[in-house]
Amino acid sequence: MNRMHGIIFSFEKPTGLGKLTEPRIHGSVPFGGEYRMVDFMLSNMVNAGIRDVGVVMHGKCQSMLDHLRSGKSWDLSRNYGGLTLLPSFAYTERWGGDGRYRGKLEALAYVMDYVRHIRQEYVVLADCDLAVNLELEPVLQAHLASGADITAVCTPQPGGSDETYFQLDDTGCIIRTTCNDFAPSGYRSLNIYVLRRDLLVQLVEWCVSRNEYSLRRGVLQNMAATLHLQAYVFDGFCAHISDITSYYKSSMALLQPGIRHQLFRPDHPIYAKENDAPSTYIDPSGLCVNSLISDGCDIQGSVKNCILSRGVRVEKGASVEGCILFKDTVVRRGANVRYVIADKNVDIGANVQLIGGENYPLVLGKFTKV
């Protein structure tokens, strides 16, 4: 569907992910063993026939650059168009800010030359902190049928009080947008929006000229009386990753077959960076129960209810339960590890006892040795 152009935002912004975002921006945080957070929205766009996607980045981008590269894994490596990695923007130099993330409108203002030269009539704006398998073609069709200025994808599923919520009328029109309510109600925004390219240009120029950088406040709230804002309700699995608790619970939900099949559909695949790791080895004395195991792992101990990324090694006599272990983590002989999230290249020593909590997992930063 070549009428749409994709823009994905991946910023260094305040989150509760702590050590997981110390070496990387939000979009390159691993999820589900094989994937990064950006893979989900990027795949949704590619599956919708979108041939041009821009990724707006800011902060510690090296991990994201290494992951996306030319976009070949998503069939976006082209001489003209395809995947465009938009440069980090410097608020202090150009817009008088203090270097912090102030909103999508400011980011778009910095890359306005790119936005003005978009060839397609419609633009899909999305964050990369959402794990969802969403068909975007029906969203565009609903947008066209309603005659809306902006269509916002939302869900009836509850979320945190710091998220955006919509109140809808009987026709699905958004009549009120709220955030930071003590007791939120309505439909939770998934921060996915469809609108015309020329309208996007007008909104960015209008808002930024008035020192308004937030899409939610500057457009969804302040312009609700003048724009036709329409909701598209999606009721499938969608995980908004904003802190360690949501990351852990959403990851563990993938161990449920029903949830896993909603997110990873053969007819609507989620693509990831090409993998050249060898097959996983499970020793005859090893045990693996209800776990997602990526390629290249070596399992000689006990693994229960876990998610393991590529190259994880669990030695004989080690026991791992309820854990998320990133690439090349090693759990040595006799170690007992429960409810732990370990970043890349973590080394958990022999006979070490690490016990976190199911609601408060223990997080080990990259290259940690215990």
pLDDT tens for 96-126 read 555 556 788 988 988 899 999 999 999 999 9
Q: Reduce the DSSP state of residue 181 to 3 states and report it.
A: coil
Give me the half-sphere count of Cα atoms (radius 13 Å) on the Cβ side of residue 213: 14
pLDDT in tens, 201-214: 999 999 988 888 88
Q: What whole-number distance in Å separates Cα of residue 366 and Cα of residue 346?
A: 6
Q: What is the pLDDT of residue 159?
A: 84
Q: DSSP readout, 43-100?
A: HHHHHTT--EEEEEE-SS-HHHHHHHTTSGGGT---SSSEEEEEPP--HHHHT---SS
CA angle in degrees (0–180, nearest 5) for 324-294-66: 85
For the cut 60, the answer to whether the pLDDT of residue 92 exceeds it is no
Beta strands in 96-213 (DSSP E): 122-127, 130-132, 150-155, 164-168, 174-179, 187-196
The pTM score is 0.93
The per-residue pLDDT for range 241-255, each reduced to its tens digit, is 989 999 999 999 999
Domains parsed from the chain with CATH numbers: 4-263 (3.90.550.10), 281-364 (2.160.10.10)
